[in-house]
Amino acid sequence: MKKSSLYKGCLEPILLRLLKDHGRMYGYQMTQMVKDITKGELNITEGALYPLLHKLEEQGIVETETEMIGNRMRKYYSLTKAGKKQTSIAMEEMKAFMQSLEYIVNPKIALG
Amino acid sequence: MKKSSLYKGCLEPILLRLLKDHGRMYGYQMTQMVKDITKGELNITEGALYPLLHKLEEQGIVETETEMIGNRMRKYYSLTKAGKKQTSIAMEEMKAFMQSLEYIVNPKIALG
DNA sequence: GTATATACATAAGAAAATTATGTATATTTT
DNA sequence: AAAATATACATAATTTTCTTATGTATATAC
């Protein structure tokens, strides 16, 4: 995803969050939206993205519809019912994770 | 470090931050302090901790002093001059990372 | 005296990314 | 009109980073 390896482990919840907020999305669109939202900070690589999306599909977290736009393929992903439940859990974990990081990186403010 | 793989990639900056804030520390102490600060959220495993500390020492980021407390060894770590510089960089990266996560997980607030 | 806590260390394996490569169409730049 | 960039998917090889398991040894609590 990026040189600075901080993002390792966060890709799945990030994608779930995107799908939760924006409904149906295709892979390339996800990479562009994340790049935009984070002002270029976070660049998802294809080698990380597509295998993960395929895994989520296998697990029944997302479902897909393939469309032809002009002559080009697009594979749209959306959360299943199970996926929505899973996303709620993932968001709670993210919240706790981010709070923990805050405690460490900004102890004075965090404890106040 | 934990089941929920979110923390992957964050261990090194966390340790650097601890050493920056508390000066001289030993490994076990780091694990306990992180556990305390994060209210049990973040449990650093020995298999992650010690190899990383050794790597940081090899890289000249930290230096060590071994002491005997009673009959038991303690290996104290502290930041070198290069380590302090490296820590500043790592903290800037952490800040950007956390901001990016905020943008994604909490888009409305983050954009305000 | 048994369990838990303190304190280090390393090896095997798994998880999650990066980098490289491949295919193909569409658009922009020169 | 050719070349470069952008769009859009995919997979394989490798690297990074962690978990799990194992090992040694002392100290403290029950």
- B3: in domain: no
Which residues in chain B have Cβ-Cβ distances shorter than 8 Å to A99?
A: 41
| Span CA (A43) to C1' (D4), Å | 21
**Rounded Cα gap, residues B20 and A54, in angstroms:** 41
- Interface of chain B toward chain A, CB-CB under 8 angstroms: 4-10, 13-14, 17-18, 21, 34, 37-39, 41-42, 91, 93-105, 107
Which residues in chain A have Cβ-Cβ distances shorter than 8 Å to B4?
A: 93, 97
Q: Comparing C-alpha atoms, which of B16, B55, B20, B50 is closest to residue A6?
A: B16
Interface A-B: count of C-beta contacts within 8 A: 87
**CATH number reported for the structural domain that contains residue B65 in this entry:** 1.10.10.10
* Span B45-72, pLDDT tens digits: 999 999 999 999 999 999 999 999 989 9
Contacts 24+ apart (CB under 8 A), A79-87: A79/A16, A79/A19, A79/A20, A83/A16, A83/A19, A83/A56, A84/A20, A86/A16, A86/A61, A87/A16, A87/A17, A87/A19, A87/A20
- A59: in domain: yes
Give the 3-state secondary structure of chain A. Answer: CCCCHHHCCCHHHHHHHHHHHHCCEEHHHHHHHHHHHCCCCCCCCHHHHHHHHHHHHHCCCEEEEEEEECCEEEEEEEECHHHHHHHHHHHHHHHHHHHHHHHHHCHHHHHC
- Confidence (pLDDT) at A83: 98
- Residues 6 or more apart whose Cβ sits within 8 Å of residue A4: B93, B97
- A4: in domain: no
pLDDT reading at A2 higher than 90: no
Query: How many structural domains are present in chain B?
Result: 1
- A60: in domain: yes
- Give the residue-averaged pLDDT of A86-112: 88
Domain that holds residue A50: 10-111
- Confidence (pLDDT) at B17: 98
- B29: in domain: yes
**Rounded Cα gap, residues A97 and B2, in angstroms:** 11
Contact assignment for B98 to A105 by CB distance below 8 Å: yes
- Give the residue-averaged pLDDT of A84-111: 90
Across chain B, what does the average pLDDT equal? 93
Which residues in chain A have Cβ-Cβ distances shorter than 8 Å to B3?
A: none
